[in-house]
């Protein structure tokens, strides 16, 4: 009973987390099948851990270790398949973003194990109270565990650490200037006209020193370009490098500017897309936690 | 394996013979409109970007 309940809860937890990552990864049926099955194995492991520990069977722990290495493999698989698909993207994800996605996929399996583990504990604790108590108590514990764990795993998005607003686009000779930052040299007159007519640009102004350091990460900049382009849609075709969405940094203030030519002009949607780009785990910097960082900020 | 040179000057297009030289392929053109036209053709062939260096000199660079 415990095992069935816990496995089921873990599986549901994994399904719940799969449902939420539509933006990071296309949720085609095959991907679903793979991750649900691995999640099921994880949930089963978490579930049998509790009864076997009660029976003083510590061999179960070594199986858990073996499983952990299997789940690490999930990360490798996700990483290599995303890297292979990178060439097929009009706007690259960048290695930092791929690494972030791969980590999330690995971590979610552990969350499924935890959920199943917690459900199994509650189920074993309430086993003498009869199934009328046991089943609702275990399921409630599972729902709370999955919700809390998922909330903890959610990182901030760009909108949480920076202000995003539209900015102006201009040309200084052939140089494309966005919000006072030189972005690139656009040679063709026709391309320049297209930029002036159709392009949208946003300024991403960090709210504090830590946000500034986080936004200075190249992987984060590429992730912004990729995700915004993926959400809004790009105008460019294969090989039209001058229309590639670009993110550049203003060394003066630490703000980022992003310019792209969207498939349709909708400034609201564009701003929403940029604000919703996740902050990459690997890009997060906390300079204020160091003495030197605080001295630079005048708080030392 | 597909090998593509990146961040290299793939071609130079110019209206002024005296301004350019070197090892990259150089295309001489007579007018600004021809300069733009050749630049578009070459950028599509190389799937690369066109940059304007001023004084009628364009370069094609793959990024």
* Two structure tokens written together for A274: 């940029």
Closest chain B C-alpha to A194 CA, distance in angstroms: 14
The residue behind tokens 């649900």 is A36
- Identify whether B43 is part of a domain: yes
Residues 6+ apart with CB under 8 A from A83: A95, A98
* DSSP for residue A58: T
| B47, B52, B54: residue with CB nearest A239 | B47
**Minimum CA–CA partner of B39 in chain A:** A188
pLDDT given at position A25: 61
Domain count across chain B? 1
pLDDT given at position A118: 92
Give dist(CA A6, CA B25) in Å, integer.
Answer: 68
3-state secondary structure of A262: strand
- A176/B contact by beta carbon, under 8 A: no
- Identify whether B53 is part of a domain: yes
Q: The whole model's pTM is what? A: 0.85
A194 vs A49, A142, A260, CA distance in Å?
Answer: 62, 54, 11
A292 vs A39, A129, A212, CA distance in Å?
Answer: 44, 58, 16
pLDDT given at position A12: 86
According to DSSP, the β-strands at A246-249 and B26-28 are unpaired
Instruction: pLDDT tens for chain A, 300 residues: list them.
Output: 788 888 888 888 888 887 665 555 655 677 788 888 888 988 988 888 888 888 888 888 888 888 888 888 888 988 998 899 888 888 899 999 999 888 888 888 888 899 999 999 998 888 888 888 888 898 999 999 988 988 888 888 999 999 999 999 999 999 999 999 999 999 999 999 999 999 999 999 999 999 999 999 999 999 999 999 988 889 888 878 889 999 999 998 999 999 999 988 899 999 999 999 999 988 888 888 889 888 888 765
- Identify whether B1 is part of a domain: no
Nearest to A43 by CA among A24, A20, A17: A17
For residue B40, which residues of chain A lie inside 8 Å, CB to CB?
188, 190
- Identify whether B56 is part of a domain: yes
- A62/B contact by beta carbon, under 8 A: no
pLDDT given at position A2: 81
Give dist(CA A280, CA A220) in Å, integer.
Answer: 6
- Identify whether B2 is part of a domain: no
- Identify whether B49 is part of a domain: yes
**Minimum CA–CA partner of B33 in chain A:** A189
Domain holding B41, by residue range, is: 8-62
| A187, A239, A240: residue with CB nearest B51 | A187
Residue A38 exposure: Cα atoms within 13 Å on the Cβ side: 24
Mutate which: B6, B46, B52, B61, vs A, most A CBs within 10 A: B52
Instruction: pLDDT tens for chain B, 63 residues: list them.
Output: 566 677 889 999 999 888 888 888 999 999 999 999 999 999 989 889 999 998 899 999 988
Closest chain A C-alpha to B47 CA, distance in angstroms: 4
Inter-chain CB proximity A186 and B47 less than 8 Å: no
Closest chain A C-alpha to B24 CA, distance in angstroms: 18
């Amino acid at each position: 009973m415990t095992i069935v309940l816990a496995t089921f809860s873990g599986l549901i937890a994994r399904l719940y987390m799969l449902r939420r990552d539509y933006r990071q990864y296309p949720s085609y049926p095959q991907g679903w099948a793979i991750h649900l099955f691995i999640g099921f194995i994880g949930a089963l492991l978490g579930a049998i851990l509790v009864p076997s520990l009660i029976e003083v069977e510590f061999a179960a722990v070594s199986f858990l270790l073996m499983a952990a290495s299997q789940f690490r493999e999930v990360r490798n698989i996700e990483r290599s398949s995303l890297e292979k698909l990178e060439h097929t993207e009009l706007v690259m994800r960048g290695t930092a973003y791929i690494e972030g996605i791969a980590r999330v996929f690995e971590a979610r399996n552990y969350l499924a194990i935890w959920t199943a583990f917690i459900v199994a504990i509650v189920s074993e604790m309430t086993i003498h109270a009869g199934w009328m108590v046991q089943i609702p108590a275990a399921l409630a514990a599972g729902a709370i565990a999955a919700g809390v764990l998922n909330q903890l795993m959610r990182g901030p998005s760009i909108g949480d650490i920076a202000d995003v607003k539209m900015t102006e686009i201009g040309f200084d000779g052939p140089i494309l200037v966005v919000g006072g930052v030189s972005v690139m040299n656009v040679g063709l007159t026709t391309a320049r006209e297209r930029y002036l007519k159709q392009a949208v640009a946003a300024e991403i102004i960090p709210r504090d020193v830590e946000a500034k350091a986080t936004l200075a990460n190249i992987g984060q900049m590429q992730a912004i370009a990729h995700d915004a382009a993926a959400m809004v849609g790009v105008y460019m075709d294969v090989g039209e490098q001058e229309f590639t969405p670009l993110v550049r940094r203003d060394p003066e203030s630490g703000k980022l500017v992003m310019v792209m030519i969207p498939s349709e002009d909708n400034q609201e949607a564009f701003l929403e897309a940029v604000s919703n780009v996740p902050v990459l785990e690997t890009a997060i910097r906390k300079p204020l936690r160091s003495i030197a960082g605080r001295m630079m900020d005048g708080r030392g | 394996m597909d090998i593509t040179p990146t961040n290299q000057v793939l071609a130079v297009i110019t209206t002024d013979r005296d301004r350019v030289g070197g090892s990259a392929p150089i295309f001489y053109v007579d007018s600004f409109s021809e300069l733009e036209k050749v630049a578009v053709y070459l950028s599509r062939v190389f799937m690369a970007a066109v940059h304007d260096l001023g004084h009628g000199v364009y370069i094609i660079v793959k990024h």
